[in-house]
Every structure is written in structure tokens, then in C-alpha cells.
Chains A and B, each alone.
Chain A
Amino acid sequence: MSETRLDKSLATALNGHGTISIRVVVLEKGMAPSRAAGKADEAPIDAAPDELLPDTDKRPTSTFLEEPKRGRQCCVFLINGQRQHAWDNQFIIRDLELKYLRNRMIVIVDCDGLKPEAIANLMQGSRHQFFEGNVYFDLESRVLLTLKGDPDLRRLEEEAEDDISSLEAGDEAVKAALDQLIEAHHEAASHISVGENQPGGEKHSGPTSGDDTQEVVVQDESNVGFSASAPVLAIRPELTTIRLRPNDWRRFLIYPKPESAWKTLENMTITFDPPVKELQVTRTTQLVGEEVALKFVEPDDFEEDEYPIETTVRSTAMFKDAPEPRLLEKRVIVNRRKQHQPKPPMPLEDDPTFLKVTSRQPIKIVIGGPDVHVKLRWNGKDELVTGDPPKWNFRVACESPSVEPLFFLTRPVEGRFELLIQAAPGLNPGEQIKFDIEAIGPGKSLPTAFLADVAEAPSARRISSKLSSGAQRRPPYDLRYVKRENWGDETCWGQAWTSNDSGSFDEPTLKTPLTIFINQDMDLLNSYRDSLISRKMAETTIQQRINRYTAHVAFHLYQMYRKKKETESAAEESPDAPSDEQMRDEIQRVARTLLKLMEVSQ
């Protein structure tokens, strides 16, 4: 059994290289100056009145970095407060796997606690960077292991992914692209329509060409994403990650491909690993599959520290004449609402009454993995343990069947603090370690405890992604975005919108121009966004691709309107004039083709 007390960890390191202190700061997204060209005199919003300003870009960290481009030196190592070494944001992307925090995150490692001989080993006469020897290796490992498992950073990364999943088409960019398409293809436009098979002309290019796209779509459509022999299990919509908000239902269909195989289903199970007790699951058999609905029911006393909650939904099915089971796995993430109402701050007392673990349990220590951060909370005032001398102390005791891991307590901030546990080598998989934590004050103690399961490092897994709703930006003068919640407000070719519709148009009237509608909640479009996120594409790249898709669909609708008008003007009640139903099918086909092409072209 070993014990630790608040900030007494220095004593544990006397036989190593000494200690380091780590501070991590994540800036608010969009906090940084957004400076347009030609407005170089505008100050960033965090500038003091007398501050001398650098050339900056839009990255939140830009005014804090010596070399903002490429995020250089966003992780600094200090000795006596002076930067002696730095890493760029590749460390955040590759090592911490926090790509969407790369332009908002700054890490400061204070090395003053290292022993003189360790500092002497690191420091070079040039002072340009540390010597990358044994001490450096240990230093690097400690920084990575401390930060990699940090739940706050993970939560922020998940929130950033959420933001991207609802990336909207940028009006100005889409309109610019649409204008360009209309201008560039004016001659070609009339050649592209339902049933037409005329050459589009030399100027015509892009994925809206009827002949080319039709062939690719037909070839690709039944195979993309599935390589196993039929039948296989699939999910509709095509999600890679299922994202849940507290208390909202999320529905999806698990079905076989080909759907006809559903008749030969013998049994299907759905499990969650790890189980999430607050998760409500309903299963409803449909004609060609099973609809699964998930809802995370947030208890009244739920601790937000537990978010994000991650599990895996695993569906296993057996089909007649298919000897092996068919498996479908999807990652499920439950995260708090982005614009949630923060709970009122907990009153902190001079005479605290409780101490509890607020991290999601069971706690898992992965051998060789990053440090485990166990969140704790009490209702004592911070100064009770940070005063000089402190009136209260925390004591941590550990009972381990094998090796006792190192652990440290952070200082409480507004009653919240963490126990960091280092996943030391020597632990055995399957072991269970008991941690007893006690707050000890004048004539009183507040105990709590938890069990930590020791597990082996996971093997390589398929990484997934997410789905979320589409979105809409400010209404353009002739281009409107339609979201799922607005499907009832507008009509699509005179009928209700569905998740298969990509867009429609309303003809101009005396008071309104031609209005083009784009469905931002089309299933395939959402799936496409998911696939981009799962590949960790940059935000700007995702935005560009969504814009490109939107512009091309809008362009095609524009052409369809022109073709319709031409046909109508050529002959009243022309049998060649496309019906609304035909145009609806056509634009769905175009959108599907476009998305498939964009996927393939990646």
C-alpha cells in the first residue's frame, strides 16, 4: 500500500531526473483575430491597448506563437521561464491525436524541477533545443503520457468534431462557385438534362456530366464500403459514429445487404461494450431489417465530468446457409449539448460534507497506456487544502496485487480535482486495484473509493466517425438551405422533403427570384461528412468539399430550371417537359453520383 498527499509528489521523484510541471491551455474557437487582407491595422481582441502586434492569421494561437504558420512551437519547454525547446502542432495531431485542437492548444512544460544533471544533459551551448538523449526521451514520454489520457482534452476534441460534423455550406463560397459555373457553362447548360444524350461541349467539365457519372455510380453504388461476401450487415443511414445527445432519441436501421437476405435471418444480437447503464435501447423489426433506437437518459444528479461517454454497439447476425456470423460495429459517443445550460456552481463550504469520484466508472488502467485521470469532487473551499498551512489534506491509498502505480493529486479548482495514475509496467491484465481517497480535516474525514481494472493495450481497431445533422447559414437571396427540422416548412417539388432529396427549386414569381433549395440533411451528404471526419480531414478541406457539392447541385437545379423553361417556351404542354417527379429523381441521382465521385476521387 502506498499513499500520496496533495502536491507531495516531489518526494517520489528524488531517484529519477526530477519533476516537470505541465500547463495546457485550449483557447476558445474563433477567439483569435480574424483579420482580412487589407485590414492589417485591426487589433486582435486580446490585445492590450499598448500591445505591439505581430502579423497574425486566423488561428486562435497565432498571437501567442513566434511562428504561427504550421503551429510551430506551440508546445514549449521552459527553464527559468525561458523557452529552451519547442514542438510544433504535429505533436498534437500525431501523438495526442487531437487534430481539431491543433490551432487552439498551447502546452507549457516547466522544467525547473529537474535535477541539475538532468538539465545539464538537456541544455546545449547553442540554447536552440534540448539534446535528444535519455533524459529527453523520458521527458517526452512523461509529457505524452500525462496529456494523452486527459479527459478534458478528449471532451474538447469530441466537441470540435461535433462542430465539424455540422459544417454548413458557406454561402459566399457556394454563390461564387455557382456563379462561375453558370458563367462558364452557359452554352453547355442546355445540353444537360433528363434524358439528354448530347455532347456537352468543350467547356463542360465536372461531375455533373450525365454520361460519365451515370456509369461510375452504377458500378460503384453496390460495392462502396463493403468487401465481404453477401450477406453483410449494414446501417442506414451510413454512419461511422453514432453521436447521441442526452435525452434525445437516435434511430438507425441495421439491415442485410442484399436486403433479400433478411428473410434468411436466424438471429441477431445487439450488445454494447462497455455497457452504458443509462442507455435505453429499443428494437423494432422492419420489413428488411431492424430499427434500433438509442437514447441516453441523463439522470438528474449526473456529473458532467463523465462526458464524453464512449461505447461500441456491436450487432451480430446469423443467416441461413451462411456459416460465419455477420458482424457490424459502430462507435457510439454521448456528449453533452454544446449550448447546454451550465449547472449552477456548487456551493463550497468551510466545513465540507462529501468527497466523491465523478469520473465514469469502471476506471480502466491500460498497461503501457497514458496516465489515467480520475476526476474527483468535494464541496470544500479550495483554500482549505491550498492554504499555508492547509486545514485539510487529501490522502490516497492504493492496494494492488502486484505493482503499485504512481499517482498524484492535482490542486482543487472550485472543488474539482484529479487523481493521475501512471500505468506503470509490471501490472497484470485482469487485476483490480483499489484506491481509497480520504479528505482529512479538523476532527473529521471524508472517504471515497473506487476500483480500477487493469487491461492490456487494445489492439488495432477500426476507427470510425460520426453523423450529425446538417445545417443552414444565413439565407441567401436565391439559395436556401433546408434542414431536417425545416422539412415541414417548405415543399420539395410540391411534396414533403425526405432524407433522399438533395434539392429542388421554386420558379421565380413577380416578387421572388428563382429559389434553389439544398437539403443539408440528405442522408448521403451526412454520411459523406462522416467519412471526411473519420479520415481526420482538416476543417477547411471538409468545408471546401461541402461547398463544392452544394454549388454543383445548385448549378444542376439552375440548369434544370432553364431547360424546363426552354422546353415550355418551345411548345405549350410539351410532352418533353420534365415532370416534377422526373426532376426530383434526376437531382437525387445527380447528388448521389456527385457524392460517390467525390468519395472515389479522394
Chain B
Amino acid sequence: MAHAIKATSSLDIEALLAQLPIAPEDEYIYDEDNPEMGWQRGKFHWMPVGRERGNAGRIKQANQPVNPIAERAINGMEALIEMARQHELLLRPSVPAPSSPRDAVQRYFHLPPLEQLPKLDSSDRSKQVRAQARELARQLRVRLIFDKATREFAVGIEDDGIGQTPLSIHRTLLSLGSTTKADKWYLIGVFGQGGSSAYAVSKYSWLVSRRAPDLLNGEGDGVGWTVIKHVFPKGRRDDYFAYLAASPDGRVPFANAADADIAKIGHGTRFVHIGYDFGRGGSAITRQLYTALNHVLYNPVLPLELYVGSTMAVVYGNGYRLSSLGQTRSTTAPVLDKVFPPQPVGSRESQ
């Protein structure tokens, strides 16, 4: 695991995999009715993500390189909201859940929609709100890393949210089509598929996750980790995406809490997608990612930090950036910034 959390290139990952006892991918054909069939004791095995052999159709969903990054960032925001909600339930179990993600952010983090931040006045209260937003951004980080040796990009998405226990990662972070969010209106996604599309645009991915220590619900503390790759089985057309599993029930490898502490892994989840395919834009992405993320996450419920090499910027979304125009001497206010009241959608007949 200590090796894994430093890997940012294909060479790194392949060197790591070469050291591990892994059953060759063609020697284990996953059968959901009998996953133990062909399982070799003492070895890790490549298991289909979502434990679904035909998962490629669900994972190959991205049409633009930046979308999976945004989806992963959304997952990180949800992890922060969910942690706040679970902390709330520890204190007041009967409190109703927030009605929407924005409601949750208002309740737990006291933030309005981010596009309203620049319009706040100069009172101490407003300054406090802006400082709170800035502080929250530190808990969600996107990193763009370029490996000069392999000329590959890696994208890391890290959150300091609720995290998952090692025993539940395969049922949550690595699930497809099943959900634990169905009755949680305060979360954003439902099926968790958006972030999975990042597997399809990367040569390898790896993840580590550690549950918030006060939200273990009786499970042991520790860090679950795994590597995800694209598998092309010999003689077959059904390519799929697989992760490194430690047991036939799908559980991932893990390290105990002491090792996690030594490696300085706190609660939260970290995904790194290696060999990320940004298309023909090539290195231009180092300049474009900020704009692209601000565009896709136009008015996100929470801000995040974006690191490109050694440079960092906070992504508040384009809504915030547009509202900021004219707030400083170096910018010009828009000639028009108009918000219409809520407009009903649907013809009068249909109403």
C-alpha cells in the first residue's frame, strides 16, 4: 500500500503489481454464482468492478476527458456532506435529513450557493462565510500530475470525507448500479457510475479509503486499497474493468490502522487515475483544466482545490467567477447580470 499511494505512472504501478502475488487474469474467470471457482488461495485476483463481467458498457460513459474528474470531485463533495450528516445523527438521531445537497451544505457548512459569495457585503459575518468556503476547499483536492519519464498524466482526487471501511469498499466505491444513496436526497449522485467512467480513460487507477474513526459502526479501523485496470481476456470480445480483490467475496486488500498511521493516511478517499487520456490536447490540459472544471462544475455545492504541478487554485465554479467580475479594480463588471425568478416549465395545457 505504501508503494501504491506514491504511484503516478504506469511504470510505478507495473512495478508494484510485479511484486504482488496475483493470479494471471486468464486463470480466473469470474462467475457471479460461484466466485470461488478457480480462486487460488494466497493470491490476489482481478475481479470485475461491480462484480459484473459485462461492466464495460456501464463504465465507458465519458465523452470528454474532464467529465470523469468532475464526477469524482462530486463524489468527494458527497463524502464530506455524508460525514457531516452522520456526525449529526450521532448527536441527534431523530433529526430529519436535509432536503437537498444545497440544504445540506447550508445546514452543515453554513454556505450559500457559491455564486453568491462575491456578492456578500464586507461585514465580519460575510468574511467568515468566505473564509469557511476557502477552508472547506482544502478538504477536497484534485491534482494533475505529469510524469516526464513516461509522458503520462495522472489525476488524483482526494477528499477528507467519511471514507469507507476496508470491508465495504467493494460494495460502495467499487459498486455499479447498486446504491446506498437512494433515500438520501441530500446527496447528488445515485448509482455512483459517473466516477467509474474515469477507469475507462486511464491505463490504471488505484484507490485508498479509510473510514472516519468515529463512524466505524463497529468495524475495525484500517485502510482498504486496490488497483483497477482494463482487462482484455484472450479470445474474447467482452473486455471489462477489474480491480485487485483479496477474497472471492470481493473484498479489497487492506492495511491495519497502525500501518495507515505510519503512511499518514487520514480518513477519506483517494483515487488516482494513471495514464489519463486527455486526447490530442496534450499538455494544453495543464492550462485548460482550471477553466474546464469551472465550466463543468459551474456552481458546485462545495469548492475544491486544484493542483497543477506546483500551482494551486481554488475552483468555486464559473457562477462564482462571473459574480466576482467588477469586485476588484482589475476586472470589469458585466454590462448585464440578470437573474430571473423561478420559471414554471411545462405548457399550460400540461399543467
Contact = CB atoms under 8 A, between A and B. Distances in A.
Interface of A: 7, 9-10, 12-13, 15-29, 31, 45-46, 48, 50-55, 63-66, 73, 76, 78, 80-83, 104, 106, 108, 110, 112-114, 118, 125-128, 135, 138-139, 141-142, 146, 150, 152-153, 156, 406, 408-411, 420, 424-426
Which of B284, B289, B336, B351 gathers the greatest number of chain A CB atoms within 10 Å? B336
Which of A17, A152, A153 gathers the greatest number of chain B CB atoms within 10 Å? A17
20 contacts: A10-B342, A13-B346, A16-B345, A26-B336, A31-B331, A45-B331, A50-B311, A50-B314, A51-B313, A54-B288, A54-B290, A64-B291, A65-B291, A82-B296, A82-B300, A83-B298, A114-B345, A142-B344, A411-B341, A420-B341
A66 B66 contact: yes
A51 B298 contact: no
A28 B311 contact: no
Interface stretch (B20-28, B204-212, B240-248, B316-324): B316-324
A110 B290 CA distance: 22
B233 interface: no
Interface stretch (B9-17, B48-56, B67-75, B213-221): B67-75
Contacts of A21: 339-343
A152 B343 contact: no
Given A21-B340, A28-B332, A425-B348, 9 more contacts: A22-B339, A24-B336, A26-B334, A50-B311, A66-B66, A80-B74, A81-B319, A108-B318, A128-B64
A16 B346 contact: yes
A53 B351 CA distance: 46
Contacts of B64: 128
Given A46-B325, A64-B322, A81-B113, A55 B287 contact: yes
Nearest to B68: A127
A22 B345 CA distance: 12
B194 interface: yes
Nearest to B290: A52
Given A28-B332, A45-B332, A64-B294, A7 B337 contact: no
A7 B342 contact: yes
- How big is the B interface, by class? 35 or more
A50 B313 contact: yes
A17 B346 contact: yes
Contacts of A16: 344-347, 350-351
B122 interface: no
Nearest to B350: A16
Contacts of A83: 295-298
B333 interface: yes
Contacts of A106: 318, 322
Given A7-B341, A64-B322, A106-B322, A81 B297 contact: yes
Contacts, number: 220
A3 to B, nearest CB: 15
A50 B306 CA distance: 11
Across the A-B interface, give the 4 residue pairs with the lowest CB-CB distance, nearest first: A16-B346, A13-B344, A52-B290, A19-B342
Given A16-B351, A66-B291, A80 B330 contact: no
A54 B342 contact: no
B148 interface: no
Nearest to B349: A425
Contacts of B344: 9, 12-13, 16-19, 142, 406
A28 B333 contact: yes
Contacts of B322: 25, 64, 106
Contact of B297 (A12, A29, A46, A82): A82
Contact of B290 (A7, A31, A51, A406): A51
Contacts of A112: 100, 102
B264 to A, nearest CB: 26
Contacts of B319: 23, 81, 108
B149 interface: no
Nearest to A139: B345
A46 B324 CA distance: 9
B36 to A, nearest CB: 31
